[in-house]
Amino acid sequence: MADADDVRRLALSLPQVEEIDSDGFDFRVLNKGFVWSYPERTPGKPRVIRTDIAVLYVGDEGEKQALLLGEPDLFFTTPGYDGLPLVMVRLAVVSVGRLTELVTDAWRMRVPDELAQTLERDV
């Protein structure tokens, strides 16, 4: 089981990541978002920032569908994210190891190859 503190620790351990001021968590690399708190919107109600759910950049629709279909207990989406390469992950059911993989992959997809390779050399 993971939580918002795990997301924060993992994201900030990656090169050139900055945390954007938010009611939850919001991480960017080179001005590109890769993981943030889910801003739940319910018609007729104010937006609620859900720090128990992370929104992850996944790169493309194929990867998004593979995650949604392969692990529906872990990943979901909403109509507001239709057509966008984003999935939501339930932090209460994801292991820290798996979350590490997901956050790192999201980061890798947002950076140039040269920067991604610096992470490979450090490991």
**What's the predicted TM-score (pTM) here?**
0.91
Residues whose CB falls within 8 Å of the CB of residue 68, separated by 6 or more in sequence, listed in order? 75, 76, 77, 87
Each of the 123 residues of the chain gets a pLDDT tens digit; together they read 999 999 999 999 999 999 999 999 999 999 999 999 999 988 899 999 999 999 999 999 999 999 999 999 999 999 989 999 999 999 999 999 999 999 999 999 999 888 888 776 555
Give 41's Cβ-side CA count (13 Å radius). 6
pLDDT at 120: 65
Strands 17-19 and 86-90 come out as unpaired
pLDDT at 52: 98
Dist. CA 60–CA 91, nearest whole Å: 22
Strands of the 26-29 sheet, one edge to the other? 17-19, 26-29, 32-40, 48-57, 86-90, 75-76
Domains and CATH numbers, the chain: 4-114 (3.90.1150.30)
Residues whose CB falls within 8 Å of the CB of residue 70, separated by 6 or more in sequence, listed in order? none
Dist. CA 37–CA 52, nearest whole Å: 8
Helices (H) and strands (E) in the chain, counts: 4, 6
Given a contact cutoff of 8 angstroms between Cβ atoms, the answer to whether 88 and 72 are in contact is: no
